[in-house]
Amino acid sequence: MSADEMEGPTFKPMTRWDGEPADVTVLTDGFRFPYACSVVTPNRLMKSAMSEKLATFDSSNMEKNGIPTEELINLYKKFGEGGYGIIVTGCIMINRRDLEAPGNVIIDKDLDTEERREAFKRWTSAGKACGSLMIAQLFHPGKYAAKLPEGSNFDINTLTREEIRNLIEEYAYAAKFAQECGKTAFFFLHSHHGINPPPPSKRAFHASYGTILGFDGVEISSAYFYTLGQFLTYDTNSRTDEYGGSLENRSRLLFDIMQKLRLDIQSAPVGMRLPRQNSFVFGVKLYSGNFEPGYDDEEFGEFVHNVEKTGFDYVTITGGHYKLLREFPKDGSKKAEHFYQTVVPAVNFMNSSDQIRRNLTRTKLFMNGNFVTLSDMCDAVRERWAAGIALAKPVAAEPG
């Protein structure tokens, strides 16, 4: 190299975990979803949801917020090129008031424009270009919403029945929006055919926005301590009505939302042809830590049974380390139990994962458990801990 040549940047090689040789065919075989039975996964790897914060945000013009940008579209193009069977989006807010952070993607009935739909269509087209399925994760941040001018002081324990109904409608609207966004826009029908379809309910609109924009389904985020996770958690839900107390009551909102989504997805607006219901996937993300306070095997088993009975195609469980779970001592010693509860919520992750396995006969289980080696991923599927593997941070490090 001559003295006047610029030296290129140097990169340190990424740290790699040592792993045993593995037969990857167990991961490359796809499967058919139980309720969305016309949808088959290309393989058993899922890119799970993260918070990218790459959508538009302008504090002086809230109506322009939450639109997918070129940066977000390019990122999902890279995810698609990575070959993941399922790509779950980062958290999509179900209204413009309550954001997890500036830069979140937003679906809100009052913000529906041709510009927004076109951006969603380009986003999903980029993610699906190489054959991946793309799932829209619907999300409400609850008490962890960013402090913004239009934000609300959200508290699950003081929500009125009307506010809960509105929340259900917002989820349904988002899902409907997700269902409709890939094929035909309402604006096209109205301006070119004189068809003015009745506005779908807010919650149905969110779900339907996914299909027209090209989404293959929606995932309801009930993990951690955001809105639905708070409802599920014994020591954060102090309600005394039908949404508090027992796990059956604490999970009622999740199942009310799911029933509303299924009802609205089945019905298409006048003049619009939508995919049949069995081609739209419904998933739910759960966190084992939400069930740790007051955990009861029988009660949790019944909850999992209801997840399947309500019609979820898949469950993603997070909150533990698969490697520690497999190595968990069988002697049940209090010392070992205390160690794992202190270091990582592996005890409850083990209990909840095992209960989900034993109580699901149709709904598919994806495990998100700090997988770092290919051999662990293959073992988890081969040994039927899960039907598929969900990855997040490793995917962010190497999206393609």
pLDDT value, residue 269: 46
Write down the pLDDT at residue 322: 64
Q: What is the pLDDT along the chain (400 residues), one digit of tens a residue?
A: 334 433 444 545 556 667 788 889 999 999 999 999 999 999 999 999 999 999 999 988 888 999 999 999 999 999 999 999 999 999 999 999 999 999 999 999 999 998 999 999 999 999 999 999 999 999 999 999 998 877 678 999 999 999 999 999 999 999 999 988 755 443 333 333 333 433 444 444 544 444 445 899 999 999 999 999 999 999 999 999 999 999 999 999 999 999 999 998 865 444 444 444 588 999 999 998 898 888 888 898 899 999 999 999 999 988 866 665 566 554 444 443 433 343 333 445 556 666 777 788 899 999 987 788 899 999 989 988 889 999 988 888 776 6
Q: Domain boundaries in the chain?
A: 39-397
What secondary structure letter does DSSP report for 69? P
Measure the CA dihedral 335/338/344/348, to 10°.
110
pTM: predicted TM-score of the whole model, two decimal places: 0.83
DSSP-based three-state secondary structure for 97? coil
Q: What is the CATH number of domain 39-397?
A: 3.20.20.70
Ramachandran category for residue 279: left, alpha or beta (phi over 0 → left; psi -120 to 50 → alpha): alpha
pLDDT, position 203: 42
Rg (CA), the chain: 21
- Provide long-range contacts, Cβ within 8 A and 24+ apart, for 196-201: 197/269, 197/270, 197/271, 197/272, 198/269, 198/270, 199/109, 200/172, 200/173, 200/176, 200/264, 200/269, 201/169, 201/172, 201/173, 201/176, 201/260, 201/264
Q: 111 near 93, Cβ under 8 Å?
A: no
